[in-house]
């Protein structure tokens, strides 16, 4: 078999995989993580809104993912204590907003190749 | 609170999420799926090679993901029965190869923002 380096994708199995890429893909490979992040790319968003926009997610999973994403630095939790009741909103950090090119590329791919989810 | 449509990401929580996008993100949100696909973006690849390139994956998971991805149309299984032993290789289909812009964007993001996985 002849090898043609020019034809190979840079992530192909002929090389070790980049550990940073592996870590990023592992992050997005946690169920709901990508969709929760996507739902936060606009203005600050309440818990109940995330829960309603991400189809099929449970409140428990929204909660768990938000805690994880806050720890990683992808989500910021903002509390406005002056309001009654206290207003809690979540927003994507700069780190998360820079995932936009990834999400946009996936949107383009999905429109061409992906049927909608069977359960929606 | 004033709404500024121009500043909102198209996937933001102010709108219903695109069902095609949801389906695509759900697909990549299955553990190992993105890394298995990435490992197949080059030339046809043997099972053992996928298993060794994707750090930490079990043979059982490689097998399960390959079956799923073949069913979805993302992976093609090629059997060369003329060889002894029979040569079985896996390759990304056109549908999968068109995920390259997604993977490339994630690579760029990962290099800037993502530490390597703790277990690697």
Instruction: Report the gap between the CA of A85 and the closest CA in chain B (Å).
Output: 16
- Its ipTM equals 0.85
Q: What is the pLDDT along chain A (120 residues), one digit of tens a residue?
A: 344 433 344 555 456 789 999 999 999 999 999 999 999 999 999 999 999 999 899 999 999 999 999 999 999 999 999 999 999 999 999 999 999 999 999 999 999 999 876 554
Inter-chain contact B110–A21, Cβ cutoff 8 Å?
yes
Q: Which residue of B lies nearest to A4 if distances are taken between CA atoms?
A: B43
Domains, chain B: 41-103 (1.10.10.10)
pLDDT at B81 over 70: yes
* Structure token digits, residue A89: 């909103």
Other beta carbons less than 10 A from residue A15's beta carbon: 13
Q: What pLDDT is recorded for position A120?
A: 42
A chain contacts of residue B20, beta-carbon cutoff 8 Å: 107, 110-111, 114-116
Inter-chain contact A42–B9, Cβ cutoff 8 Å?
yes
Inter-chain contact B21–A115, Cβ cutoff 8 Å?
no
Inter-chain contact A116–B29, Cβ cutoff 8 Å?
no
Which sign, positive or negative, has the C-alpha torsion B3, A90, B114, B96? Answer: negative
Q: Which residue of A lies nearest to B2 if distances are taken between CA atoms?
A: A43
pTM for the full predicted model? 0.85
Separation of alpha carbons A61 and A31, rounded Å: 9
Separation of alpha carbons B109 and B114, rounded Å: 8
With a pLDDT cut of 90, the percent of chain B lying above it is 78
Inter-chain contact A12–B114, Cβ cutoff 8 Å?
no
Provide the chain A residues 38-77 that lie in CB contact (below 8 A) with chain B. 38-43, 45, 49-50, 53-55
Inter-chain contact A98–B106, Cβ cutoff 8 Å?
no
pLDDT at B5 over 60: no
Q: Answer whether A48's CB lies under 8 Å from A80's CB.
A: no
Mean of the per-residue pLDDT values of chain B: 87
B chain contacts of residue A97, beta-carbon cutoff 8 Å: 9
């Amino acid at each position: 078999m002849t090898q043609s380096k020019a034809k190979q994708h840079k992530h192909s199995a002929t090389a070790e995989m980049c550990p940073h890429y592996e870590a990023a893909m592992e992050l997005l490979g946690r169920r709901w993580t990508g969709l929760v992040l996507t739902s936060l790319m606009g203005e600050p968003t309440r818990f109940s809104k995330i829960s309603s926009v991400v189809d099929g997610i449970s409140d428990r999973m929204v909660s768990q993912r938000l805690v994880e994403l806050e720890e990683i630095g992808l989500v910021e939790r903002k509390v406005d204590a002056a309001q009654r009741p206290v207003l809690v909103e979540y927003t994507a950090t700069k780190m998360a907003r820079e995932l936009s090119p990834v999400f946009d590329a996936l949107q383009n791919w999905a429109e061409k190749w992906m049927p909608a989810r069977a359960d929606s």
